[in-house]
Amino acid sequence: MSANKASQAKAASEPGRGRAQGLRTRHPGDLSPEETVARVLRVDHAGEYGARRIYEGQMAVLGRGAAAGSIARMYDEELRHLDHFEKLMVARRVRPTALQPFWHVAGFALGAATALLGERAAMACTVAVEEVIDEHYGGQLEILGEDEAELKATLEEFRADEREHRATGLKHGAEAAPAYEVLRATIKSGSRLAIWLSERI
Ligand SMILES: [Fe+2]
Ligand SMILES: [Fe+2]
């Protein structure tokens, strides 16, 4: 078994991991450290942009609902994450993904559509997306070297925020949303695909 196959098998054997971690399952020789960082920043910026648009879609529908305060707080944190990645991309001369227009439309649509199903469905969307982001950041933390300690510390910090967002979603009744498991699985698959594409395009 090649080293690549072995690492793929290892990733696949860890529950809930592997599929969204195209970076982690690549052969170590495929990308230079600079290319790896560029890819990390590009996809993370795209993801935080998508998160901003999801919460904007939710707020457009649920702006006066019971969870409006919680949504607004999570939104503020996404803006902080996004701003940080924007600055890093400029500093390190990394171009944004060509899929930015997709994230703009799809993020808002996902947020608004789930919010139209109700507050708990919006929270189910938050839980699903944040679970994918959590595993995504976890995969990046494993592939980045010690020479990227500052970036890794940022990812650790943001990852903790995303886990908080997931907990907020659960606190607001995500699991009681209609067809919760189908909704969650569907959104997770779509988010993983969007991440995979944004790492590459
Ligand atoms: Fe975020
Ligand atoms: Fe988040």
Rounded to the nearest angstrom, the distance between the alpha carbon of 165 and the centre of ligand 2 is: 5
Confidence of residue 25 (pLDDT cuts 50, 70, 90): low
**CATH number, domain with residue 97:** 1.20.1260
Domain annotation covers residue 16: no
Rounded to the nearest angstrom, the distance between the alpha carbon of 26 and the centre of ligand 1 is: 25
Ligand 1 ion: Cβ-proximal residues, 5 Å cutoff: 48, 51, 78, 81
Q: What percent of the chain has pLDDT over 70?
A: 86
DSSP assigned state of 176: G
Rounded to the nearest angstrom, the distance between the alpha carbon of 8 and the centre of ligand 1 is: 27
Distance CA 4, CA 36 (A): 17
Domain annotation covers residue 22: no
- The count of structural domains within the chain is 1
Tell me the longest C-alpha to C-alpha distance in the chain: 56
Distance CA 78, CA 130 (A): 11
Cβ(161)–Cβ(76) below 8 Å: no
Encode pLDDT of 91-144 as tens digits.
Answer: 999 999 989 999 999 999 999 999 999 999 999 999 999 999 999 999 999 999
Total-model pTM: 0.81
pLDDT at position 32: 82
Range of the domain at 88: 30-200
